[in-house]
Amino acid sequence: MADNTEILSGLAEIVEEVAGIDTAEVSAEKSFVDDLDIDSLSMVEIAVQAEDKFGVKIPDDQLAELKTVGDAVDYIAKNQ
């Protein structure tokens, strides 16, 4: 079980890999769409990689609710 800090850093690595955004930019308060300029196609890739990395399921209706990096970290923490 990863703690929130580990989840954040793991998620930041995925975002860097998929969208080329520096891991330092990927902080909890950032919105995926508005701040990090990540499109819906990249969000699908990020979700699939996060599922594999943290052993969670992120259904599409949940994915749509994950507006910020912090939302995603919290969701993963609760569901892993």
Partner 1 sequence: MSSEVEVVITGLGATTPLGGDVASTWEGMLSGRSGVRRVNDQFDWMDRYDLPVKIGAPVATEPTEVLPRVKSRRLDRVEQLALVAAQEAWADAGAPEVEPERLGVVVGTGIGGVTTLLAQDDLLETEGLRKISPLTVPMLMPNGPAAWVSLEFGARGGVHAPVSACATGAEALAWALMLMRNGELDVVIAGGAEACITQLTVAGFVQSRTLSQRNDDPERASRPFDTGRDGFVLGEGAGIMVLERAEFAAARGAALHGKLAGAGLTADSYHITGPEPEGIGQSRAIAKAVRDAGLEPADIGHVNCHATSTVAGDVGETRAVRKALGDHPILTAPKGSFGHLVGAAGAVESIITVLSLKEGIIPATVNLENLDPGVELDVVAGEPRKVDLQAAVCDSFGFGGHNAAITLTKA
Catalytic residues: 39
Closest separation in Å from C-beta 68 to partner 1: 21
Of the pair 4, 40, the CB lying nearest partner 1 is at: 40
**Binding interface with partner 1 (CB under 8 A):** 18-20, 40-42, 44-45, 48, 51
Closest separation in Å from C-beta 1 to partner 1: 23
Measured distance CA(20)–CA(17) in Å, rounded: 6
What's the gap between Cα 40 and its chain centre? Answer: 13
Measured distance CA(51)–CA(80) in Å, rounded: 9
Which tokens in the block code for residue 7? 């989840």
Of the pair 39, 65, the CB lying nearest partner 1 is at: 39
Measured distance CA(51)–CA(73) in Å, rounded: 12
Of the pair 6, 37, the CB lying nearest partner 1 is at: 37
